[in-house]
Amino acid sequence: MMAIPPEVTFDRFLRGQTEYKDGKQDLDRLDSPEMRSLLTVIQQTLNLALLNENRGIPEHREHAPFHLDYINSGISNAHAYSRADYSFIGLTMGLIDQLAVSCVRLSESDAITAHLYKEITPDVRKGLQAILLDYALHFVVSHEFTHIVHGHAERRGAKSNSFNEIADDSAGGTFKDQIMECDADGYAAYQVIGNLIGTDRRVLAVSALQASDKPVAYQDEVLLFCFTVAVAAFFFARTPVEIGKKDIYTLPYPPQVARLNYAMEHAMGWCKHNRPALTTWMTRDRFLSIAKATAEAIWGANGGSAWNSQIAFCQSSAGLEYIRKLGEGIRSFAATS
């Protein structure tokens, strides 16, 4: 008997056991040839990487083989489904469309492109748009991968083993949920930054940004900048929480400022050991400037004030206590994994 292809199993699983009754997305049906090509390359590249994952990492839990695919739904979300036969990672077309729109806005933002230190031609803007979407999707997939290999589904007990990244209501979460999300963010950031800067993938990015003739140090700075913006774009896909109106400890996700800061700590940890000059380049002021410009480009006119309110909270006594407890919870979680 021939084995059932993973994409068929994924489609049947979606239709039979999830709210996605239209199943998987057939990429051949997409109107945009550019999007069809990009998503095909991302899927092929990441499924190959997932197939050849290092099975000898001590902190990884036993899991079924991975398969990444796209979900035919306008809902903006991403999921990790831990099954007996496959570990599925599913990205909805709604999320991809949302991130694509965000990346267009980012590539058109003068506050964003000012960090590239060069004349911004239409071709450079188009290249930046494609790179940001590519990086954002790689981060999402790595985040979902971590949910499975770090055993987050088991830690949640009776809760669903599907992790909803965007469409969850802002109520009904737990502090434990927030800790697991930060754990996934940090692990994904470390893996992705190393793959983007430290491998041959950098060649395509620096070429698209017309920086192939620039010094390696400059290229590294540009790639770290793109990584930071792309990760922020994923976090900012969620509506900013009005922290003062909700109990922050009952949210399913930490506020964006906390998530981005924690992800960047892990990314800079990789840089410290592999590109130490980048730890000097990415100053606190530069990081805050990039993050605020990203928030304004994605969230609109109120983006800067929403970001500033989160910064103000984290600098308050209640915010500092929250950050302290979050850090302790993450370290305790890692120690018991």
Name residue 156's amino acid: R
The pTM for the full model equals 0.94
What does the block give as tokens for 313?
């909270």
Element (H, E) at 226: helix 216-235
CA atoms of 62 and 47, how far apart (whole Å): 18
Digit-by-digit pLDDT tens for the chain (337 residues) are: 567 899 999 999 999 999 999 999 999 999 999 999 999 999 999 999 999 888 888 888 889 999 999 999 999 999 999 888 999 999 999 999 999 999 999 999 999 999 887 778 999 999 999 999 999 999 999 999 999 999 887 776 545 556 677 765 555 688 998 999 999 999 999 999 999 998 888 999 999 999 999 999 999 999 999 999 999 999 999 888 777 667 889 888 999 999 999 999 999 999 999 999 999 999 999 999 999 999 999 998 778 788 888 999 989 999 999 999 999 999 988 767 6
CA atoms of 175 and 327, how far apart (whole Å): 12
Residues 6+ apart with CB under 8 A from 320: 314
In the sheet that 87-92 helps form, which strands lie side by side, from edge to edge? 66-71, 87-92, 78-82
* Coil, strand or helix at 70: strand
* Ordered alpha helix ranges (H), 52-89: none
Q: Is 23 left (phi over 0), alpha (psi -120 to 50) or beta?
A: left
CA atoms of 279 and 127, how far apart (whole Å): 25
Q: Is 4 left (phi over 0), alpha (psi -120 to 50) or beta?
A: beta
Distances (CA, A) of 310 to 235, 246, 295: 13, 13, 11
Beta bridge partners of 88: 67, 81
Sign of CA dihedral 173, 154, 183, 130: negative
pLDDT at 250: 87
* Ordered alpha helix ranges (H), 29-109: 33-51, 93-108
Quickly count helices (H) and strands (E) in the chain.
14, 3
Phi, psi (degrees; rounded to nearest 5) at 59: -80, 0
Residue 59's CB is within 10 A of a number of other CB atoms, namely 10
pLDDT at 160: 55
**Helical axes 284-299 vs 256-274, angle rounded to 10°:** 140
